[in-house]
Amino acid sequence: MTDAPRLSSLAHGGGCGCKLDPAILRQLLAAQPAVGPFERLIVGNETSDDAAVWELDDGTCVIATTDFFTPMVDDPVDFGRIAATNAISDVYAMGGRPILALAILGMPLGKIDPDVVARILRGGAEICAEAGIPVAGGHSIDAPEPIYGLAVIGTCRREAVRRNADALAGDAVILTKALGVGIYSAAIKREKLDASGYRDFIATTTLLNRIGPELAAEPAVHALTDVTGFGILGHGLELARGAGLTLVLDAANLPLLPQAATLVQEGFVTGASHRNWAAFGADIDLPADLPDWRRHLLTDPQTSGGLLVTCAADRAEAILDRIRQGGYPAAARIGRMEAGPARIRVDG
């Protein structure tokens, strides 16, 4: 195919930034009938957790999730790798280990060369191989925009399940990866991200959150979730709402990708960042003098973002050190859970 279009030009949005508006999603879910009762359904959709969990007779739990999106990069292998890493993350965020994946593929026939599609699939398979799982099948359709992702199945023991709703007052809060992925993707869309920035972008979005099961084995770790399209505020608010607590974020301690602060001040902000703030800004208390560009860092949609971890405060430094030693050098202690209304307060 000559004069092939850029992958990212074929989609209205990219990565987890193309999620539904969180306010609309909550409205849609609220309108659905109650699930169950199913006594073996350990985790359903009641707290907007990362995956569903079903307990078998022997105490083994089956974790099931699906995630897919449109391209945020133009290299097809990189697109496949990012999408696969992001999908597998949901299993790790529940405290489980993946065992197999099924591919989800939608491609605009006649607009993309089959070789490009094959490279997308190859990228996804590379990450699945890194995670030690097969791509055991899947489904494909003709679609108006390119779509790729995975349905992933994992397992863990019942005692290892970590929900997003089980934080305790007094817990420390840790984030395992730097923020700024959506800002970088906005720069990619406009062909303004330099080679160094692109390397940093790929490094973080293709870093598997495989530390999740190790964290879940630690009794001092109470809650886990991963940070994706709703940004640190949106997914942090899910923690707060689930536990009925206030999450206090120390803005100065949030880890950022190297160019994130500069790029956001130059106007590289996604539409999803604005939608996120409109959807849940009423439940966030910001410092009066916080500039808009710093607020955009807080609502920036992350694709294949880090794990948000709550743990007993007296174990926080040891757990943080373990995370860093495990291959997540940007990990940082970013806040705490306090008794109070289910809100977020941003300090600093």
Name residues of the chain where pLDDT drops below 70.
Answer: 1-3, 13-21, 35-36
In a domain, 108, yes or no: yes
* Host domain of residue 20: 7-160
Residues 284 and 335 in one domain: yes
pTM: 0.93
Strand 41-43 relative to strand 52-55, pairing: antiparallel
pLDDT given for residue 46 in this prediction: 82
16 catalytically annotated: yes
The number of domains in the chain is 2
76-93 vs 195-205: helix crossing angle, rounded to 10 = 40
CATH code, domain with 150: 3.30.1330.10
What string of DSSP letters covers 190-213? TT---HHHHHHHHHHHT---TTHH
Of 99, 131, 160, the last residue of a domain is 160
Residues 53 and 124 in one domain: yes
Residues 179 and 147 in one domain: no
In a domain, 268, yes or no: yes
pLDDT given for residue 19 in this prediction: 66
In a domain, 243, yes or no: yes
Residues 90 and 205 in one domain: no
Q: Which of 16, 18, 128, 156 is catalytic?
A: 16
pLDDT given for residue 316 in this prediction: 98
Residues 137 and 272 in one domain: no
In a domain, 238, yes or no: yes
In a domain, 2, yes or no: no
In a domain, 307, yes or no: yes
Residues 181 and 284 in one domain: yes
Over the stretch 73-108, which tens digit does the pLDDT of each residue have? 999 999 999 999 999 999 999 999 999 999 999 999
Rounded to 5 degrees, φ, ψ at 167 are -65, 150
pLDDT given for residue 1 in this prediction: 43
